[in-house]
Structure 1
Amino acid sequence: MINKTVRDMAEAMQGIADGATVLVGGFGSVGQPDALIDGLIEQGAKDLTVVANNAGNGRVGLARLMELGRVRRIICSFPRSAGSVVFEELYKAGKIELEIVPQGTLAERMRAAGAGVPAFYTPTGYGTLLAEGKPTAEFNGKPCVLEHALPGDVALVQAHKADRWGNLTYRRSGRNFNPVMAMAAAITIAQVDMVEPLGTLDPEEVVTPGIFVDRVLLHPVA
């Protein structure tokens, strides 16, 4: 019997290794798997590469993970935003590496990883510092830059509902980066508000099929 629900956070975090590339869902705080980030802090993996939309806020969640010295490198679109104090402190001190990726390119690099596409050309970033050192080509008269797929060892995502097979639905803007990250990782761990009986999720509302999900942790929002 397929049952991807886990008993507790320790089981959800099992096997995340030092040096892993961790994809963290959310757009700012919306759709961000805060409980799983706290679980990763407790689990202890270090020397991580984190892929996220931004570099955290305040001194909790993703920012706390960085403040504890557990993140070696961050790949994101918006490293500086309101409240990104921890990242700025670490970056100025030379204690964290940064790769800035345009938001659409970031999403497409992970979507490509999930689809088995090794690389693609895009006009975004051509002629800027972000394209330095990357191959370029011209298509229909438009210059483009080559971007590589961005797979993860682990994806931490938040969803609204799941079933025991790992099928996921999302609530409004909480969808954001979560579906493409779920596809792009070797292990996908989903924090969900509800686990519904098998067969009760509307197939038209299932965005992430269970084939992409390995572990489901019930953690309803307070």
Structure 2
Amino acid sequence: MTRLSVNINKIATLRNSRGGNNPDVVQVAIDAERFGAQGITVHPRPDERHIRYADVLALKNVVTTEFNIEGNPDDRFIELVKRVKPEQVTLVPDAVDAITSNAGWDTITHRGHLTDLVNMFKADGIRVSIFVDADERMVEGAKATGTDRIELYTEPYATHYPDDREAAIAPFVKAAQKAQELGLGLNAGHDLSLENLQYFAQHIPGLLEVSIGHALIADALYFGLENTIQMYLRQLA
């Protein structure tokens, strides 16, 4: 079964909007695992507008499933990941002013840089995943870096799903097949939701993990966090 990693960035966004520590992101991570989440994802950004670097350090001591830290590998991010040593680091080419992730790596142009990062993190026993578009060339480029996994950037799939789900998923199937052919582990994330998740999981071969934050936390406002996590897990069953 595909594993569900819950991204708790939006919990931190809500906390930061008011100050203080309500809601408590550490407690939410503990509860999410208790409710069935098979991993916790955080994406610290340089401005700390949601998850703070201090949150990541605090979470290190409580996450008992899989801890996935994703982000743009600048010096501060690298230092944080090496200090925390999560089960997985996901490398994302975010611009400093990006509202959210909006593209995968050009793994051909940045092959040398990514290879150095992969080797460094793997030397610390951290599994590495590279965020890529659903492009077979980028999958092949990722393989050349020595990464363990890739994460497919699924926003284009989510955008086009309501109009033509078969066309929307087609490039992702090809990318997933290429990953399998090359022996790469496969994750996916961005704008996956209760509307489109089941179809994606049923049609993508070798899908190991999905990371979901915005839609899941929004759904939790209506259905409650425990019920919502269970609803997402059923989409992956």
Common fold, TM-score beyond 0.5?
no
TM range (shorter): 0.3 to 0.5
TM-score (norm 2): 0.39
Q: Bigger relative contact order, structure 1 or 2, given CA contacts below 8 A and separation 6+? A: 1
Which structure shows the bigger proportion of residues in helix conformation? 2
The structure with the larger Rg is: 1
Query: Greater strand percent: which structure?
Result: 1
What TM-score do the two structures reach when normalised by structure 1? 0.40
